[in-house]
Amino acid sequence: MTPMAAAQAALAADRAHGDPALWITRVPDAAFLARAAELEAEGPLGRPLWGVAVAVKDNIDVAGLPTTAGCPEYSYMPSRNATCVQRLLDAGAMVLGKTNLDQFATGLVGVRSPYGVPRNVFDASRVPGGSSSGSAVAVAAGIVPVALGTDTAGSGRVPAAFGNIVGLKPTIGSISASGMVPACRSIDTVSIFAGSVDTALAVAQAMAAYDAEDVYSRAAPFAHLRKPAAAAAPRVARIAVEGPMAAPYAAAAALFPGETADISTFLAVARLLYDGPWVAERTAALREVVENRPGIVFPVTRKILEGGLARKTVDAFDAFHLLAKARRVAAELFRTCDALLLPTTQPCPTLAEVAADPIGVNSRLGTWTNFVNLCDLAAIAVPAGIGADGLPFGVTLVGPAWSEGRLAALADMIHRQFAVTVGATGAALPPAAAPAALAADETALFCIGAHMSGLPLNGQVTALGGRLLRVAQTAPQYRLHALGNRPGMVRAADGAAIAGEVWALPTASIGALLAQVPPPLGFGQVTLDGGPCLGFLTEAAGVADAPDITRFGGWRAWLAAAAV
C-alpha cells in the first residue's frame, strides 16, 4: 500500500477495534495523515519501511508525545526520539501512537496499568500479556503491521504468544536503548512485534546499529540479521514439557527430532530475575520514585520495586556465580545445536486468576523466558497453532547472541508449518521472503562434509557469521574419499558430481575458518553446477589410502549408508 492507504487502513482498524486501553497517547488523525501525505509526496527514496505504520511502547521516547512508562505522574515530554524510533522514521515508518504497558515494564500479565487493560483479541476475559501489552494487541488486532516493545523477562515474547503474532527479542545491545526508560538496564532490549518473521527481521535490520550514547550498545561481529536458506538438517534441542503445554509443544518439537536438553540451570537463573539482584536493578532504575514518590506507583509494582531496597550484596554474588555457570552451559549447548525450542509461556490466565494471585501467576508466565536475557541469548517467539479452546499457542526458538538471522529461517518454517493466520485478523501470512543474496562483504564457500548444516563442525561456520545459501552439487569432475570424520574431495578426470551446500561467510572470516581446517584439507576453486566457487579441496596425496566413496554422491549419503 501507499503511505496514505496504509495510514487510512490503520485508522479504520483502530476505530473498528475500539479499545481505549490500547493507547496511552494516540497521534491525532490529521497529524498521522499529514505524515503519510509527506511520505507519499517524497516517494520511497530507497527507504525499506516507507509508509509502514508503527506503534511504540510508552517507555520509548517519541519526540512531541509524552513518555509515561505507564505512570501518569512520571510523565515527561521528550525533545528527541529514542535512537531506535529515529532509525524507523529515517527508514520511512510513521508512528501512530504510544501503547499501554505494565507500569515501568514490570510484569508479564499486561494488567498493571492505571490506563486500563488492553483487550485480549481472542478472549476478553483473559490477560493480553505484558509488559508490552498494547504493542502486541495493536499488531494482533491488525491496526499496525509492526510495533515496538521492550523485553527484560519476556515482555516481547509472552504477549506475542497470547496474540498469535511474532515477537523478536534481539541480542542485547544490538538495538540502541537510548531514549528508553530502563527496567533492568543491563539486560533490557527493544523488541519487535510483527505478523511474520520476515517483517520482524526487516524492522530489526532498520534499527540495529552501534550507538555510542548507549553504554550497553555493542557492535555486531558480523551482519547477523541476514536470512539464510532453511537448513537441510537443523540441530534443534528440545526439552521435556509436562502439563497443559505438553501436547501442543510436542507437535512443534516433532519437526526437529533430536536430543533433549537439560535446562535446569537456566530455570534456576530464571527464578532469580524476580527473586535476586535484578530486582534491585529495577529499583535502582527508579530509585528516586521509590524513595521519594512511592504513592505514584501502581500497588503491585510498588511492592516489587520496594523489595529491591532490601537486597543484600552478598546474595548478589551468589547469583552472579550461578549466572556465569548458566552462560557456560548455554555456550556448550549451542556448540552442538543451532537452537533451543521452548514453549513460549504457560497457558493464558484469566483476569480473575491474576487478580487473585497477581505475583504468582505473573512469575509462572516467565518460566521459559526469564533466563534468556540474563544468559545473553537471542530469541524469536512464533505462533504454533490454535487450541481447541480457541486460544493461540506459541513456541520460541532461542540461540546464542547474534543468531537472529539463523533463528529467523527456523522460526518462519514453524510458523508456516502450522498455517496460522496473523493475530486475530484472519489474514494469511504473506509469502516467505527469499534468503538474502550474497552480499558484497561475503564470500561463497562450498561445504561438502562435517561443516554442512546439522553436522558436527557446522558450528565453526555459523560462529563466524556463516549462513546457508543453497544446496548445490559440483560439475562431474571430482572424486570423494572418507578421511575418518570428514571427507576429502579431489579433482579427477573420471569424476562425478558431489553434493554439498553453498554458505555465505563474511570475507574477513575466511582465513579464521581455514585456520581450523587440518591438512590435507584446504580451500580451492571448485566448479559447481552454477559456476566456480571457493570450496573444500584435498591434496591428492592426502587421499591415497582413503576409501573412495564417490558412488554415494555426497557425505550425507555416505553417513546414512554407514549408519545402516
Among 377, 332, 559, residue whose Cα is nearest residue 454: 559
User: Minimal CA–CA distance to 412: which of 255, 268, 223?
Assistant: 255
**What kind of architecture, by CATH, is found in domain 442-563?**
Roll (3.10)
What region, left, alpha or beta, does residue 213 occupy, with left being phi > 0 and alpha being psi -120 to 50 degrees?
alpha
- Band (pLDDT 50/70/90 cuts) for residue 259 is confident
Instruction: For the chain, give the number of residues.
Output: 564
CA 508 from chain center: how many Å?
26
For residue 273, the model assigns a pLDDT of: 87
Angle at 301 between CA 300 and CA 304, to 5 degrees: 90
What pLDDT shows up at residue 347? 97
Give 406's pLDDT tier (boundaries 50, 70, 90). Answer: very high
pLDDT in tens, 309-328: 989 999 999 999 999 999 99
Q: What is the pLDDT of residue 163?
A: 98
Give residue 100's pLDDT.
Answer: 98
Question: Can you give the three-state secondary structure of 249-300, one letter per residue?
Answer: HHHHHCCCCCCECCCHHHHHHHHHCCCCHHHHHHHHHCHHHHHHCHHHCCHH
Tell me the HSE value of 137 on the side-chain side, using a 13 A CA sphere. 33
pLDDT single digits (tens) 458-510: 999 999 999 999 999 999 999 999 999 999 999 999 999 999 999 999 999 99
Asked if the domains 3-218+238-417 and 442-563 are classified in one and the same CATH topology, the answer is: no
What is the gyration radius of the CA atoms in the chain, in angstroms? 25
Task: Give the pLDDT of residue 109.
Answer: 98
Please report which helix (H) or strand (E) contains residue 522, including its range.
strand 521-528
Query: What does residue 277 show for φ and ψ, rounded to 5 degrees?
Result: -65, -20
Residues 454, 563, 255: CA angle, nearest 5 degrees:
40
- SS3 of 92-161: the string is CCEEEEEECCCHHHCCCCCCCCCCCCCCCCCCCCECCCCCCHHHHHHHHCCCCCEEEEEECCCCCCHHHH
Name residue 166's beta-bridge partners: 194
pLDDT, mean over the chain: 96
Q: 419 pLDDT exceeds 80? A: no
Q: Name the nearest CA neighbour of 14 among 157, 138, 125, 184.
A: 138
β-bridge pairing 487-491 and 53-57: unpaired
**pLDDT tens by residue, 87-139:** 999 999 999 999 999 999 999 999 999 999 999 999 999 999 999 999 999 99
pLDDT of residue 85: 98
**Better pLDDT: 564 or 131:** 131
Residues taking part in catalysis: 57, 131, 155
> Domain segments of the chain: what residues?
3-218+238-417, 442-563
Q: Which value, to the nearest 10 degrees, does the dihedral of the CA atoms of residues 312, 315, 321, 325 take?
A: -120
What percentage of the chain exceeds 90 in pLDDT? 95
User: How much is the pLDDT for 230?
Assistant: 87
| CATH code for residues 3-218+238-417 | 3.90.1300.10
**291-308: average pLDDT:** 92
Query: What is each CA distance from 290 to 73, 151, 152, 301, in whole angstroms?
Result: 13, 22, 20, 10
Q: 257 pLDDT band (50/70/90 cuts)?
A: confident
Q: How far is 191 from 156, CA to CA, in rounded Å?
A: 5
Between the two ends of the chain, the Cα-to-Cα distance in Å is 55
| Spatial distance between the Cα atoms of 447 and 284, rounded to a whole number of angstroms | 50
Q: pLDDT (tens digit, 9 = 90+) per residue, 335-367?
A: 999 999 999 999 999 999 999 999 999 999 999
Residues 40-63 have pLDDT tens digits of: 999 999 999 999 999 999 999 999
Instruction: For residues 217 and 367, give the distance between their C-alpha atoms in angstroms, rounded to a whole number.
Output: 27
Three cell numbers, residue 414 = 514453524
Nearest CA to 91 out of 121, 60, 46, 146 is that of 46
**How does residue 233 score in pLDDT terms, banded at 50, 70 and 90?**
confident
> Is residue 243's pLDDT more than 80?
yes
Contacts of residue 402, defined as CB under 8 A and 6 or more positions apart, other chains included, come to: 171, 174, 220, 221, 222, 224, 378, 465
> Rounded distance, CA 360 to CA 373, Å?
21
Per-residue pLDDT, averaged over 258-266, amounts to: 93
In angstroms, the Cα distances linking 415 to 65, 255, 408 are: 35, 12, 10
